[in-house]
Amino acid sequence: MRNLLSEQDVTILGDLLRSNGEISSQQLSKNVGISLTAARVKRRELTKKYLTVTYSLNLQRYGWRQLQLQISTSEGRTVSVGKELLKLNPVVFVGGTIGEVKIDLRAEVFVRDGHELVELIDAVKALHGVKEVVWSEVADVIGTKNPPSQLETHKATKDSIGPHPIHGK
């Protein structure tokens, strides 16, 4: 496999990921040994090309409930149902799924209360091609952490692939 990132790029991306983007360009320039201007340019280029940066309100702080709808479809209407779902105001994300054979779509939604949830589920069930809708909600956050470092993917492109990180095989 071809190495897509230089060691300098890996260092900058690692620093950005570990700091959630809060590291200064001045500190990046020191860590990598390049000028401040070069660090700013590299940061901007690498962020644009390799990182996904989003900012959003924590709607739960304003009394909203974040839920997931799992939707079964029929008649080959998964994509069209997904597009219709996105037209509904409480729906913020729709994705096609694989794995569970009964679930074709997963939708992230925000509602204020049980009444809005029932209205939303009724609206989804009324869409042509929807067979079944189930919902779930996180009741208690046990913990969070960052996903495995994407830079391990980079390392695998550089080095020969070693043992599996979990199974050791």
Domain boundaries, the chain: 7-54, 64-137
Give how far the C-alpha of residue 47 lies from the chain's centroid of Cα atoms, to the nearest Å.
Answer: 16
Tell me if the domain spanning 64-137 has CATH number 3.30.70.920: yes
Give the span between the Cα atoms of 58 and 150, in whole angstroms. Answer: 25
DSSP type of residue 134: E
Supply the pTM of this predicted model. Answer: 0.64
Q: What is the pLDDT of residue 161?
A: 41
SS3 category, 93: strand
Q: What is the pLDDT of residue 3?
A: 53
Q: What is the mean pLDDT of residues 14-19?
A: 89
Is it the case that residue 75 has pLDDT exceeding 50? yes
Give the span between the Cα atoms of 148 and 69, in whole angstroms. Answer: 27
Rg (CA), the chain: 22
Is it the case that residue 54 has pLDDT exceeding 90? no
Which one has a higher pLDDT value, 161 or 34? 34
Give the whole-number percent of the chain exceeding pLDDT 90.
63
